[in-house]
A and B are shown apart, each in its own frame.
Chain A
């Protein structure tokens, strides 16, 4: 009964989404406020309906209802409750439901925080989001219904893929989807502006906080996924340039470009056409990512179940949504004005140069990801494009971008001067260069890449410090604390996010330069050393988990004769899918991780063991969280809070005919 309610709720949601997608947009076009008023209640109803469906699926999982095909395929009665709930997004159908649920959640948020928007704009935004939702609901109801019954019911479920039975996997997909789908708001704002022909600075101001929130979620989501790969796949790597990873990284690159270009449009009214294109791109890449992951056109280590019929559906949907919006763009963009003037060497100019580099980097990831497909489609042979390729093209594109990142925030709007910038930056550059050259020598391993990485990281930090100092000189306040407090949060946000990048770069550089690994054969009682640490293997014990059995090794780790920690790596066997999983044991630390994973049992209790000493690796994810924190600080800025608090527009909404296109 409950699954049928869920199914029915989805059907109703589709009807509501159709109404929401058609009436308000039509109403906005003809100026009928009755039709436009439909948007808000429709969006809220749709949210409640999809929430109901989501709750029904959650109930089916909690209740171990194996008469639901999807539940039987992705869970098991032995599976603990929190993993049964995470299994909702453990495979295709449920992931789509989560996608749609989050889309309606964002819609609901738009209805809450759009009191200050003109009615026409709001109804167009919600209408566009409704149309996107129609596609996903239709997709679920036609070829990927999570509520499909299995008759007769299975006695037992086939269990969740053991790889996904992990706390990181419980929160990674919702975070990632909050980011992916969050870009739909910026997208809807852009389409609404194109439809209305009112692509002005107000549009940029409104989309900025939404875009930043989505970007924060995406950043955290990607970081969680990378962390999961690090400890769960057992190879100690953190990024593999796998198509699925690239699918999440491309929207991030486009989104990062969008966040910056929105700043130009907001502050200076410039480059609206470019910003609107980026808004379309960021969401299109999210959709493209969904297609790549779900259709099976590319092989990926994340072996999702794939089905060509589903692939075709998403492709057609993709063609309609992206093709439609790009056509609208081609039609409307030429009529948009240019905005304020500025010199090439100015903050605007540098933000845009950064944009060009970010988009070129995104294009390269796209090229590398799709190239095997292109060649295959043209019957020119099969190739693989992997980490060596991406590393060698990505680094040269990012180096100038990060260099500019240091200068940009210090340059004046409109026009900056080289001698002035050189004067203000010479100390930062000197300090960065000298420390980047000497630090690796002090640490005992000089390589060009190590120096380059440190140079960029220190450059970001020193330039940020200069920027902050100059800023403090210009604000009022007697004490330092008072002056620090009067620097706007958005400025703090930028500084923090940029320093997050620096932390990230330090992590990547130090791991690449100084990580050590050892494959050893360890008898009980034997020791192995890596870094300054000695690991003593005290044998394995059999342990029984809720739905697995494991051999758990005990490793006493000591440094200079003093015990640091005890690590318990496991080799688990999940009987339902008969899968063996390597659960690495990690002792995380600010300056290093110690990582032990069990290989194979050899004889007499001896095991092959892999040990890693990874300096600074947690800085990689730490950097990402700091970036997201920066984003969060930026949106807590005073002006946005004021905007939210306002319910009614101060200025009467200009009618469509009266709205002047801003040149």
Chain B
């Protein structure tokens, strides 16, 4: 009896066990869609990319983008299509413009200012602070206060 079951299993197994098909007929186009959609914002959702959203408008827009990919339009052309309708709001990577200059250079300016300020402060400090500082004495007071009998080097 066992071997009958085995045969049935094998037969039915081979009858079923197919490799699942990709969801779309054109995985290359789908990869391009995904690549584009993760940098685009779904307009109706609170804060989701076009790739992640399941809102009806997001589905419609993905359909439009798929059609544009099928028409062999370039990425900038597709992005221009969306920006001309919905504005820069759809782009998660804000384009560099007069109004976004501060946004893009800000972090690096911050870092530059920080480093300059640090170097200048340390220079000025090394001139004003005497080599023998009061801190050691003060440190001892803290030690005394906090850890009775605790000897630390």
Contacts and interface: CB of A to CB of B under 8 A. Distances in A.
Determine if chain A interacts with chain B.
yes
Interface of A: 116, 200-202, 205, 233, 235, 237, 240, 242-243, 268-270, 299-303, 337-341, 343-344, 349, 352-353, 356-357, 359-361, 363-364, 367-368, 371, 375, 380-389, 392-393, 396-397, 518-529, 536-537, 599, 608-609, 638-639, 642-643, 646, 649-651, 662-663
Given A339-B133, A353-B118, A363 B21 contact: no
B126 interface: yes
B23 A383 contact: no
A338 B128 contact: yes
Contact of B45 (A243, A301, A387): A301
Contacts of A353: 115, 118
Contacts of B148: 642, 646, 650
6 contacts: A359-B114, A380-B99, A386-B93, A519-B30, A523-B20, A537-B20
Interface of B: 13, 16-24, 30, 38-39, 41, 45-49, 52, 87-94, 99-100, 102-104, 106-108, 110-111, 114-115, 117-119, 122-123, 125-126, 128-131, 133-136, 138-139, 141-142, 144-148, 150, 152
Contacts of A396: 108
- Give 8 nearest A-B pairs by CB, closest first: A386-B92, A525-B16, A269-B135, A364-B107, A388-B93, A356-B114, A340-B133, A340-B135
A521 B138 contact: no
A387 B47 CA distance: 11
A205 B102 CA distance: 39
Given A338-B125, A341-B125, 17 more contacts: A237-B52, A242-B47, A270-B135, A339-B133, A360-B110, A371-B102, A383-B99, A386-B93, A392-B93, A397-B107, A397-B111, A524-B16, A526-B17, A639-B150, A642-B146, A646-B146, A651-B145
Contacts of B117: 356
Contacts of A388: 39, 92-93
Nearest to B152: A639
B22 A521 contact: yes
A116 B114 contact: no
A35 to B, nearest CB: 24
B150 to A, nearest CB: 6
A363 B111 CA distance: 9
A122 to B, nearest CB: 14
B94 to A, nearest CB: 5
Contact of A536 (B17, B52, B126, B144): B17
B103 A202 contact: no
Contact of A383 (B24, B39, B94, B130): B94
Contacts of A529: 19
A200 B138 contact: yes
Contacts of B87: 381-382
A118 to B, nearest CB: 9
Contact of A339 (B23, B122, B135): B135
A375 B142 contact: no
Contact of B129 (A237, A340, A537): A340
A520 B41 CA distance: 24
Contacts of B108: 393, 396
A343 B133 CA distance: 14
Contact of A382 (B47, B88, B141, B150): B88
B65 to A, nearest CB: 16
Q: Which of A242, A381, A608, A609 has the most CB of B within 10 A?
A: A381
A359 B118 CA distance: 12
B114 A357 contact: yes
B99 A381 contact: yes
A356 B21 contact: no
A340 B145 contact: no
Contacts of A537: 20
A205 B115 CA distance: 27
Contacts of B92: 384-389
Contact of B20 (A359, A521, A650, A662): A521
Contacts of A599: 23
A344 B119 contact: yes
A39 to B, nearest CB: 20
B125 A526 contact: no
B111 A360 contact: yes
A655 to B, nearest CB: 15
A302 B24 CA distance: 31
Contacts of B110: 360, 363-364, 367
Contacts of A205: 142, 146
Contacts of B19: 526-529
Given A375-B99, A385-B92, A525 B17 contact: yes
B31 to A, nearest CB: 10
